[in-house]
Amino acid sequence: MIDTSTPPATSKTVETVSGITVRLCGDSGDGMQLLGTQLTNTSALAGNDVATFPDFPAEIRAPRGTRAGVSGFQVQFASQEIFTPGDTLDALVVMNPAAMVTNIGDLRKGGILIANEDGFNEKEYKLAKVESNPLDADVIEQSYRVVRVSMTKMTRDAVSEFGLSTKFADRCKNFFAMGLVYWLFGRSLDPTLRFIEEKFSKKPDIMNANMAALRAGWAYGETTEVFGESYQVEAAKLEPGTYRNIMGNQALAWGLIAASQVSGKDLFYGTYPITPASDILHELTKYKNFGVRTFQAEDEIAAVCATIGAAFGGTMAVTASSGPGIALKGEAMGLGVMLELPMIIVNVQRGGPSTGLPTKTEQSDLLQAMFGRNGEAPMPILAPRSPGDCFAMAVEAWRIATECMVPVMLLSDGYIANGSEPWKIPDMKDLPEIKCSHPAASDSDETFLPYGRNENLARPWAIPGTPELMHRVGGLEKEDGTGNVSYDPDNHQHMVDTRAAKVAKIAERIPEQDVFGATSGDVLVVSWGGTYGACLTAVAKCRDAGHDVSHAHIRYMNPLPSNIGTLLRSFRTVLVPELNAGQLRMLLRAEYLVDCVGINKVQGKPFAVTELVDAITHHATTLRQTKAG
Amino acid sequence: MIDTSTPPATSKTVETVSGITVRLCGDSGDGMQLLGTQLTNTSALAGNDVATFPDFPAEIRAPRGTRAGVSGFQVQFASQEIFTPGDTLDALVVMNPAAMVTNIGDLRKGGILIANEDGFNEKEYKLAKVESNPLDADVIEQSYRVVRVSMTKMTRDAVSEFGLSTKFADRCKNFFAMGLVYWLFGRSLDPTLRFIEEKFSKKPDIMNANMAALRAGWAYGETTEVFGESYQVEAAKLEPGTYRNIMGNQALAWGLIAASQVSGKDLFYGTYPITPASDILHELTKYKNFGVRTFQAEDEIAAVCATIGAAFGGTMAVTASSGPGIALKGEAMGLGVMLELPMIIVNVQRGGPSTGLPTKTEQSDLLQAMFGRNGEAPMPILAPRSPGDCFAMAVEAWRIATECMVPVMLLSDGYIANGSEPWKIPDMKDLPEIKCSHPAASDSDETFLPYGRNENLARPWAIPGTPELMHRVGGLEKEDGTGNVSYDPDNHQHMVDTRAAKVAKIAERIPEQDVFGATSGDVLVVSWGGTYGACLTAVAKCRDAGHDVSHAHIRYMNPLPSNIGTLLRSFRTVLVPELNAGQLRMLLRAEYLVDCVGINKVQGKPFAVTELVDAITHHATTLRQTKAG
Amino acid sequence: MNLPVLKAADFASDQDVRWCPGCGDYSILAQMKKVLPELGFPREKTVFISGIGCSSRFPYYMNTYGMHSIHGRAPTFATGLKSTRPELMVWVITGDGDALSIGGNHFIHCLRRNLDVNIVLFNNRIYGLTKGQYSPTSVEGQITKSTPMGAIDHPLSPLSVALAAEATFVARSIDAHVKHLGETLKAAAAHKGTSLVEVYQNCNVFNDGAMAYAQERKQRADNIVELEHGKPLIFGAKGEKGIRLTGNHLEIVNTEDVPSDDLLIHDAHDPNPAIQMMLARMRYPEMPEPIGVLRCVEGVATYNDQINEQVTAAKAKKGEGDLMALFNSGDTWQVA
Amino acid sequence: MNLPVLKAADFASDQDVRWCPGCGDYSILAQMKKVLPELGFPREKTVFISGIGCSSRFPYYMNTYGMHSIHGRAPTFATGLKSTRPELMVWVITGDGDALSIGGNHFIHCLRRNLDVNIVLFNNRIYGLTKGQYSPTSVEGQITKSTPMGAIDHPLSPLSVALAAEATFVARSIDAHVKHLGETLKAAAAHKGTSLVEVYQNCNVFNDGAMAYAQERKQRADNIVELEHGKPLIFGAKGEKGIRLTGNHLEIVNTEDVPSDDLLIHDAHDPNPAIQMMLARMRYPEMPEPIGVLRCVEGVATYNDQINEQVTAAKAKKGEGDLMALFNSGDTWQVA
Ligand SMILES: Cc1ncc(C[n+]2csc(CCOP(=O)(O)OP(=O)(O)O)c2C)c(N)n1
Ligand SMILES: Cc1ncc(C[n+]2csc(CCOP(=O)(O)OP(=O)(O)O)c2C)c(N)n1
Ligand code: SF4
Ligand code: SF4
Ligand SMILES: [Mg+2]
Ligand SMILES: [Mg+2]
């Protein structure tokens, strides 16, 4: 842990603002993701609340200089609690024309546009498919505070003493840009200097050059007359505790490890790489000393089946994928339901259908999670609402899986998986207790019933190696109690009912749905998954504007919390914003017969707060008019 | 075609009845399925309406003599139109104790129980897990007309002259039983004699023995004093035309061939064997001279992908499976949606989840058909309502697939797949016209747009081999018009909307929902798939009993016919009987916000008419009381 | 510790066996029940995992732990189980369709990983459970329900494919040769790494006699050659025929005509699979088909050992994982 | 008919090529565009089908018909297409993960069926598109994003697996050896039956130089041996080394020390794959790795020919199918 550092003193005026949204864009090779991550960490360390949105091309190295090759990273840091990376930008940094033309639309009127002037030349215009220098357009000068900086040249100068080739010298220019941004927003250089030191410790020339570039960028801000003032964002008043910045996939991985530790189980993670789930594998495989075994299978089917095999053996077993891979797991998930073994299936959703938009976010796999299996095969489904919440929901998934002996589906999405936020480090003793018990041979005198049930309708988790409890499981319908294969009609009905009841009963073991705002009134906004931040912020804004709007964000998708029906019926209008064509809406309508209205967007992008504010306001206003009229 | 034959004259009294339900049960090796099929055909040839329900063990040869090894075949034949194989039995033929104890429950009070006495001995009691001869129980004698026949012995006598070994002689006893049944119900021996002649033409001894056994059975009925009278069922008044008996899977296969012929296309059928879909493969592969190519793939994924490959090449392409195999096809079906190519995916549903009850029927894959893919991947879904209707719906599926350039799902089930009914042979010119056209290079001067659209929102089916129309398709989101890969947010929204609209628009190209009974009133029964017969019969009975009940049987599951909403809202109660936990009900509730009530049964068995009558009556009566009160 | 001495009957579960009378599966079941007690391994540490097919009902009949999984995937369940519970003895039971059609990929990957499990592949050259369609081992031209004009796929040899995947133990036996079968199963159990045993199994209902040449007492002497490590390849009722390696191929010779030194001496332990691959390709009627252990190479690392060794190594190097230390690693800050 | 003479540029589609600068895929694309015009086959009858991976973007860049399908399944789409449209020339483009990991089973089954398509397997021994996890061809111990302590799976050789599946055409080439690559692609196109061409392809981002021993001008003479049918196996910068078959294995000899007759003469047409299998198993650094055509056996029936011949035969025997006759076959009756 380090102290919240203070930036080097500036001699210019400092204006204090409550929050800043900035986007850094350049070519995929320009290191924008690194830059964004550093700015995020530094801001978090300064005590700001932060939220991020990385957005990069589908290609590994998309063609240089083209629009398709632009990589961007947006971060909002603020002195109050925030829940989204922001809609419109206060500042935009662009390294080349392609980055500028594809992003300028999001810069607010009067916002700061910082451009690497050296990246604007004929060759680049051609690559970006623009006729001439877009910076020169009158409308640009008139709408924004344009700052042209000769970054490449100044970086070369700054690093000349280290004798790097031009190619390597030019690679330092992202640190120059970073230094300038740091100056502008009063960020400390220390965390990034330390980062550079660690990362390049084996290449001292490059280390020194990057440090010099960073400092040069800062110095440029301090020196040049272009900037009259810099901005400062004070620390946010977050709940007391120790914080760190965390990404969604990382939090999910850590949550799994934490669950394995509190339940006294080793963790088996069987998976097949797929965007945007692969980083969970990359993260988990680092922690073999926690008893984590990762298995990169030959395909998704092998991955989920190995997971079932490990669960049969008594291990905490998890598999993960994204939409197309989850589709392949459907048959085996049905077996998991039949075997009544605990395990977790993670879906980090991406744009669909088919291969779709693999690097973009979407919430369109909820119905697949509910129904993507043959026969009546119900499964509990949880959905984290933010990067940090992935931790909590991973633990929760394992709690439910073991308490009820059932495979649990965890629905994350690309937006929260790759996004990050400050995360209050939990105390181990605050984590829920997860008791896993396995019957022993001597537990009872009676014949062992592998499909006997407890009050949760859970069967015993008897594992190979236990004398006398030998039994066989399988995908054919089984007789309740004995677990023998049974074609008996009444037993089948009973088992279908029991598997459904077991999942339905979970509603008793999860919290009631909480609401932001009043629990009855004009408008209820019901959301789930990664849209939490945007919906909450939008509802808050609408409430500030005097509308009677509340917000319920569901994290337990199946079964739904037991008070949802009452809640829905307590509002005159229920709005369901989703990044799909209306999947939760359909479930709510079917279950509660409430005429929920969808706000739907399927563009591979998260909601902008303003979009939601507009939609909610529209409905709230219409209602008020109806009431008045 | 043959004339409706008359049975050999009997000298006993003949009572005319309107219909008979009989079940033949014995050991799997006893040839009950053959016997049932013969009785069905003979009855159909006699002009009766017939409906059948074969029910056999999951094992290839289940252990002899055990309850699990019992194989049964139920047939109802009647002089009026019937839609189910009947609920309770008028007659039950049992070859051994296991068959008796597992089936006696369905015999109506006073019904005829014919038992092969020679199959009742100590060894068989043990195998059947009964203490003593179940025929001897008082309750049996009191409840039924028990006829004990020494079938094995009499068969041996009848065939002795042909010098068969005892083993082969005993195999003839099912024909003896058949002869007796034929006598009892006034059936002609001719069709079965002819069948024996053809089937055993190469083994004259066996042929003669079987014929002798059949005749001996008939003679026994005529001679023995046990039977005072025989029964006769007159020809039913069906629509005029030429009829044949047809099984569901056979009708489906023939429908596919017919569709391929009327659309001028060869048929490619890519599949992997699975119960109860395999018989479609077995049937189709016989018709290579119709240009049918069957491909038994290495798995279901290969099967559906080969189907997509064939569709890309311009062939009529079809794949089929049952639940677990359909689960495996989910990912590729999503690609099919993205490629917008015409093809048919058949699911012959069986008991689930997982391997479930592979030889039993169920309707539990409707939601899988709707949502078992990642992302927003809508697909039209059709469901035949009876064995013969499989023909019509197969043709219909291909019509919609080609008109709208979309993969179509056809949901059959084990009950109609293996069931049979008289089928009026259609005239080729009554089949819908299906025009498949492929653009040619010269069609237009403009650049070819592989994702350009017509009024159905269908794109052109340009096929490899066509000069100048070269284009690439794939699973990444594509730009409308050009079909190029596109990550553009607005285009993605547009394409998701377009794919949905294309399916929704199909509602314009399908008939409105028809109703049996009034189009508004107290109770509407809404059903789909193989429950048609039971639901229709039950509604008819309730109407006869004076209840205000109507019936709408849906064959177009997605999109639903455009008048469904109005219809649902025109009744005070909507009942949805399904062999699942309420899948159509959920779709209707979500779409129309009508509080549909489910009548659900998940027992691997079809509905009994009485069950439905009871449930409907209950609701109708409650309603009347409410109205009155 | 003195383990109780078990008998074959102790390995029988309480479930009725439901194969067709006369099916070759019975004999394999009987041998398994006979062999397991001889291994002296605790029943409760023994697990049978199968896919789907007639053969795959096997686990239900064994009084051990068992899983009747889904079609083609048995090796993958075994991978998860054995990787996390390496002390268990895991058997994979599969059929020719299960292992080579839908499950072909898992089969290869299990072998290349050298997961320490024993795969018993019941090869009846047909799909039994689904009532008689051809399988990847059906012969060309075979008439089945799905190939009324004859199968047109060239058949796969499970042994060849296994060897190409660098399998460390590859063997073949026959349902009817009960003694040989028992010995082969024992050898498979003794091997560390994936053991593949292909068993010719008669499906008397849908493919009766397809391998009669190898099963029937009268014919088999001429049509199969029994491999024994270190012994020359000799067959025929009176040992009158032998196999010789000539250049790049194997040929049948008359043992009277050639010196016994000239005969091919079977080397199951040779890490170079060249000859073993030639043996795997010997097919009736041109050549006798080999039974016995084609290849048994010890000392190759197993997947389960290695995955667990990495955990041990990581713990040794970094110490047991400490959650709070992990959470607090890197940059953190305090809010008061 | 006089076909217009096409040039490489005619085979370029209008899409921007989006591989990383320096990726080996560019060179394979260039060779394909160069070779296709030489085949003189109509563009519109040429189809490229790929799975998913960096390599699988290939079809977008060819101005022919194309399908970028789903991961691992390309051969199955090709099966449906080629079985129904045998007159098309179908190329399957795949990667090491696509073909051997998720797609391993389809790969084998395509080969065993001898479907007349050409499979080009871009082997960079890594998952490129998903950013650097190990693949089934990654070497043991390889450190990747998913194997920080080293890969523990034993790698698969696509050539061995193909030969075990009785492939009729098996070859290998290298992205950087443009001429050799072009020739090999041409040979593949000329073969009737499934042609497999493995191409060593450098992924300069995630596995740079993994096959430098075979790609780099300086090293390659010692590390690869170029196979030519009927020619002895000689390699080394000055042809100073050769390969000899001794008993059951191949060994490196000094060409000066042994008579050239003793060297192994490559026989790509030998239906017996024994030696070809030995060649496929030669691995760096112990042995030079073979490039060129390991096996090319003509005259084996193809799946597409046979499936279509059965249709022709059925029509010849039963006449063109008559629907009304079919409907009216068997027992029917009349209702008036
Ligand atoms: C996903 C899936 N596809 C298909 C089936 C149907 N099926 C069950 S077993 C089987 C093949 C059986 O053949 P084999 O593996 O040779 O076993 P055998 O019955 O001959 O012992 C098939 C196709 C299934 N159960 N699941
Ligand atoms: C069903 C499914 N699983 C996983 C993925 C993710 N994925 C795409 S390509 C790929 C592997 C690529 O490796 P390779 O085939 O070697 O191709 P390369 O990129 O190296 O050319 C994976 C795992 C996917 N698209 N679909
Ligand atoms: S069908 Fe064949 S393999 Fe299956 S149980 Fe019967 S005889 Fe055995
Ligand atoms: S990631 Fe590797 S294989 Fe993929 S395009 Fe880049 S260099 Fe080529
Ligand atoms: Mg088999
Ligand atoms: Mg690769």
Q: Per-residue pLDDT tens for B59-90?
A: 777 778 999 889 999 999 999 999 999 999 99
Which band of pLDDT confidence, cut at 50, 70 and 90, is reported for residue B513?
very high
CATH of the domain at A560: 3.40.50.920
Q: Is A292 on the interface with C (CB under 8 A)?
A: yes
* CB distance A371 to C105 below 8 Å: no
The per-residue pLDDT for A3 is 43
Interface list for D 126-155 with A (CB within 8 A): 127-131, 133-134, 136, 145-149
Q: Show which residues on chain C lie within 8 Å of chain D, measured between beta carbons.
A: 101-105, 108-109, 112-114, 136, 149-150, 152-157, 160-161, 163-166, 245, 248-249, 270, 272-275, 277-278, 281, 300-301, 303, 306-307, 310, 313-314
Does residue C268 sit within a domain? no
- In chain C, whose CA is at the least distance from the CA of D110? C153
Q: For the segment C22-76, what is each residue's pLDDT rounded down to a tens digit?
A: 999 999 999 999 999 999 999 999 999 999 999 999 999 999 999 999 999 999 9
* CB distance B56 to B69 below 8 Å: no
CATH of the domain at A68: 3.40.920.10
Q: Is D156 on the interface with A (CB under 8 A)?
A: no
Q: For the segment A364-380, what is each residue's pLDDT rounded down to a tens digit?
A: 999 999 999 999 999 99
State whether the beta carbon of D288 lies less than 6 angstroms from ligand 4: no
Q: For the segment A260-316, what is each residue's pLDDT rounded down to a tens digit?
A: 999 999 999 999 999 999 999 999 999 999 999 999 999 999 999 999 999 999 999
Nearest residue to B268 via CA among B235, B303, B227: B303
- C245 contacts D112? CB cut-off 8 A: no
- B2 contacts D331? CB cut-off 8 A: yes
Does residue A1 sit within a domain? no
Does residue D26 sit within a domain? yes
| Cα gap D250→D247, rounded to integer Å | 8
| Cα gap D298→D295, rounded to integer Å | 10
pLDDT, average across residues D328-334: 89
Contact list in A for residue C91 (CB cut-off 8 A) is none
Does residue D233 sit within a domain? no
Contact list in C for residue A317 (CB cut-off 8 A) is 80, 84
Query: Where is average pLDDT lowest: B165-174, B573-582, D122-131, D178-187?
Result: B165-174
Report the DSSP beta bridge partners of residue C234. Answer: C242
| Cα gap B614→A39, rounded to integer Å | 70
For an interface test with A, the pick among C64, C90, C335 (most A C-beta atoms closer than 10 Å) comes out as: C335
H/E element, B294:
strand B292-296
Among B324, B489, B593, beta carbon nearest to A603: B489
Q: What percent of chain B has pLDDT over 70?
A: 98
State whether the beta carbon of D124 lies less than 6 angstroms from ligand 4: yes
- B375 contacts A371? CB cut-off 8 A: no
pLDDT, average across residues C130-139: 97
Backbone angles phi, psi at A352, to 5 degrees: -125, -170
Pairing relationship of beta strands A381-382 and A343-349 according to DSSP bridges: unpaired
Q: Do B200 and B142 belong together in one domain?
A: yes
Residue B260 distance to chain D (closest CA, Å)? 11
Q: Do A276 and A205 belong together in one domain?
A: no
From B214, B233, B252, give the residue that closes a domain.
B233
Q: Is B210 on the interface with C (CB under 8 A)?
A: no
**What's the CA-to-centroid distance between D18 and ligand 4, angstroms?**
9
CATH of the domain at A384: 3.40.50.970
Does residue D27 sit within a domain? yes
Q: Do B46 and B145 belong together in one domain?
A: yes
Q: Structural domain tally of chain D? A: 1
What ligand 4 atom has the least distance to the C-alpha of D122? 3
SS3 A83: coil
Q: Do A223 and A248 belong together in one domain?
A: no
- In chain B, whose CA is at the least distance from the CA of A491? B603
The per-residue pLDDT for A64 is 85
- Beta strand spans in B352-440 (E): 381-382, 407-413, 420-424
| Cα gap C48→C195, rounded to integer Å | 14
Which band of pLDDT confidence, cut at 50, 70 and 90, is reported for residue B3?
very low
The per-residue pLDDT for B11 is 79
The per-residue pLDDT for C331 is 86
The per-residue pLDDT for B10 is 78
- C164 contacts D161? CB cut-off 8 A: yes
| Cα gap B556→B380, rounded to integer Å | 8
**What's the CA-to-centroid distance between C98 and ligand 1, angstroms?**
6
Q: For the segment C5-37, what is each residue's pLDDT rounded down to a tens digit?
A: 889 999 999 998 989 989 999 999 999 999 999
Does residue B64 sit within a domain? yes
Does residue C327 sit within a domain? no
Does residue D120 sit within a domain? yes
Among B61, B66, B299, beta carbon nearest to C72: B299
**What's the CA-to-centroid distance between D128 and ligand 2, angstroms?**
8
Does residue A478 sit within a domain? no
Does residue B504 sit within a domain? no
The residue whose CA has the least distance to atom 23 of ligand 2 is A273
Interface list for B 354-413 with C (CB within 8 A): 354-355
Q: Flag whether pLDDT at B178 surpasses 90.
A: yes
Q: Flag whether pLDDT at D75 surpasses 80.
A: yes
From B233, B254, B281, give the residue that closes a domain.
B233
The per-residue pLDDT for A4 is 44
Q: Do A278 and A223 belong together in one domain?
A: no
CATH of the domain at D12: 3.40.50.970
H/E element, B258:
helix B248-262
Residue D240 distance to chain C (closest CA, Å)? 25
| Cα gap A29→A95, rounded to integer Å | 11
- In chain C, whose CA is at the least distance from the CA of A198? C330
Ligand 3 probe mutation, C29, C204, C207, C215, most atoms within 8 A of CB = C204
Tokens 């579960």 map to which residue? C13
Does residue B239 sit within a domain? no
Does residue C191 sit within a domain? yes
For an interface test with C, the pick among A262, A472, A478 (most C C-beta atoms closer than 10 Å) comes out as: A472
Q: Which domain holds residue A88?
A: 13-233
What ligand 4 atom has the least distance to the C-alpha of D24? 8
- D149 contacts C310? CB cut-off 8 A: yes
From A207, A233, A259, give the residue that closes a domain.
A233
Q: Count CB-CB contacts under 10 A for residue A235.
A: 14
Q: Do A556 and A420 belong together in one domain?
A: no
Does residue C38 sit within a domain? yes
The secondary structure of residue B304, as a DSSP letter, is H
Ligand 1 probe mutation, B60, B61, B274, most atoms within 8 A of CB = B274
Say which residues have a Cβ less than 8 Å from residue B24's Cβ, sequence separation at least 6. B32, B35, B36, B39, B72, B73, B74, B93, B177, B181
Q: Flag whether pLDDT at B1 surpasses 60.
A: no
Tokens 């290939």 map to which residue? D58
Touching subunits of A (3+ CB pairs, under 8 Å) are B, C, D
Which band of pLDDT confidence, cut at 50, 70 and 90, is reported for residue B629?
low
* CB distance D165 to C277 below 8 Å: no
Interface list for A 411-430 with C (CB within 8 A): 424-426, 428
Q: Considering every ligand atom shown, identify the ligand nearest to the alpha carbon of residue C124 and give its number.
A: 5
State whether the beta carbon of B274 lies less than 6 angstroms from ligand 1: yes
- B331 contacts D65? CB cut-off 8 A: no
Q: Show which residues on chain D lie within 8 Å of chain C, measured between beta carbons.
A: 101-105, 108-109, 112-114, 136, 149-150, 152-157, 160-161, 163-166, 245, 248-249, 270, 272-275, 277-278, 281, 300-301, 303, 306-307, 310, 313-314
| Cα gap B429→B406, rounded to integer Å | 25
Tell me which residues of chain A have a pLDDT lower than 50. Answer: 1-4
Q: Which domain holds residue D12?
A: 8-219+291-309
Ligand 2 probe mutation, D27, D76, D96, D127, most atoms within 8 A of CB = D127
Q: Flag whether pLDDT at D95 surpasses 80.
A: yes
Sheet strands side by side (includes B89-94): B49-55, B70-78, B19-27, B89-94, B107-116, B145-149
The per-residue pLDDT for B628 is 66
Touching subunits of C (3+ CB pairs, under 8 Å) are A, B, D
Q: For the segment D279-314, what is each residue's pLDDT rounded down to a tens digit?
A: 999 999 999 999 999 999 999 999 999 999 999 999
Q: Structural domain tally of chain A? A: 3
pLDDT, average across residues B318-326: 98
Q: Do A48 and A79 belong together in one domain?
A: yes
Q: For the segment A440-499, what is each residue's pLDDT rounded down to a tens digit?
A: 987 666 789 999 999 999 999 999 999 999 999 999 999 999 999 999 999 999 999 999
Judge if ipTM > 0.90.
yes
The per-residue pLDDT for A57 is 80
Q: Do A305 and A418 belong together in one domain?
A: yes
Nearest residue to B348 via CA among B436, B421, B273, B402: B273
- D18 contacts A63? CB cut-off 8 A: yes
pLDDT, average across residues B166-193: 92
Which band of pLDDT confidence, cut at 50, 70 and 90, is reported for residue D4?
low
SS3 C292: strand
The per-residue pLDDT for C119 is 98
Q: How many CA atoms lie within 13 A of C169 on its CB side?
A: 26
Does residue A109 sit within a domain? yes
Contact list in B for residue A362 (CB cut-off 8 A) is 375
What is the rounded average pLDDT for all residues in chain B?
A: 94
The per-residue pLDDT for B437 is 93
